[in-house]
Structure 1
């Protein structure tokens, strides 16, 4: 088994955090090959034969099967290493975890990526940039921070009482927003700030 990652990649970081919560040591328990944007090793014919879309992360199993997409990889390890539960326990728990993770993807993570791609100097010449779209997505992201602040008023974590996949997705989105977009959690978002401090203090946050 081998895990392919991208340095500083948003979705690869989701898998890093998830595996850290499962106590899987990258490099020791699970071999890793890491690419970067400059060398673009994930766009070579060798890697494209494994994952034709050239996206990361990707998990190659011992029989040659390749699982791409970060949540699919997390799902694989959730089944292989059941504890701690990060994707919901039982039918209702799993559905609730999926609902909130999907919301965090659509309402926080994707807007963060869109703002980064369409407004950040790193992407000049790499991808077409539409400044107005980036600005609109930034407004969306700010509005969703306020919405999430309200959602966290009566519970410690996004999907309920325990840390899970939805927290990981939101955590990665807000770390990226703060670092790449200089968009921090507003001072008056007390519930979101409390949650962010708690997830940032977990050892897995350093993965």
Structure 2
């Protein structure tokens, strides 16, 4: 049995949930209450000392503690449908757009939220260590996120999915970025028509509600 440590309201585990749903993998789900600090409990630290979710524990007992390792393991063990490319160039495109969605998108919103939210005071970075907020990083993150919406618009005006003709983990990461951005009042505008069509297509997939 696969055990999946989740938090229904957090963006990072949502990415893994969507992959699990796309690949139709059944798991034993354990909800971790981030709002009340359950990730810092001794019980969860024994699973992941970094105190973050998602975590996927394989049937062999190996704990995979980030989206990169979870996605790679699932792709290898459950190759159908492929979500990380089917040939060298396809896999390279997926890797490029996944990195951009993470670095230019998700990290930018994390900068905004963790450096501006009162609830995140002293927790500007995920994990067990106290890190003070830097308000200037919130301002920078907001500008980065807005620019990335324009990057997505330009790309999706030319191709149905970020890596080409096939839905991939890059689309999942970018979709979670756009929805996460709404938490800090950043959203596509009227000028983002291609992005809006892509969002509609992703939201129509069953995995979007996983």
The two structures have a TM-score, normalised by structure 2, of 0.90
Structure 2: distance between partners of 1:126 and 1:144: 25
Deviations 1:25-48 (A, max 9, x none): xxxx21011111233222222222
Which of 41, 64, 67 is residue 67 of structure 1 equivalent to? 64
Moved more, 48-57 or 96-105: 48-57
Moved more, 37-46 or 150-159: 37-46
Deviations 1:23-73 (A, max 9, x none): 22xxxx210111112332222222222222111111112332111101211
Q: Which runs of 5+ in 2 are unaligned?
A: 125-131
- Secondary structure of the structure 2 residue equivalent to 1:33: strand
The two structures have a TM-score, normalised by structure 1, of 0.91
Partner of residue 144, structure 1: 148
What displacement does 1:125 show? 5.4
1:43 pairs with 2:46 = no
Structure 1: distance between partners of 2:171 and 2:99: 11
What displacement does 1:2 show? 0.8
**Cα–Cα, structure 1 residues 189 and 38, in superposed 2: closer, same or farther, change >3 Å?**
closer
Partner of residue 160, structure 1: 164
Map of 1:1-207 to 2, 5 A cutoff? 1-24=2-25, 29-124=26-121, 126-127=123-124, 128-178=132-182, 180-207=183-210
Q: 2:153·2:195 contact (CA, 8 Å) conserved in 1?
A: yes
Q: Which runs of 5+ in 1 are unaligned?
A: none
Number of corresponding residues: 202
What displacement does 1:99 show? 1.2
Question: RMSD over aligned Cα, in angstroms?
Answer: 1.5
Structure 2: distance between partners of 1:47 and 1:123: 20
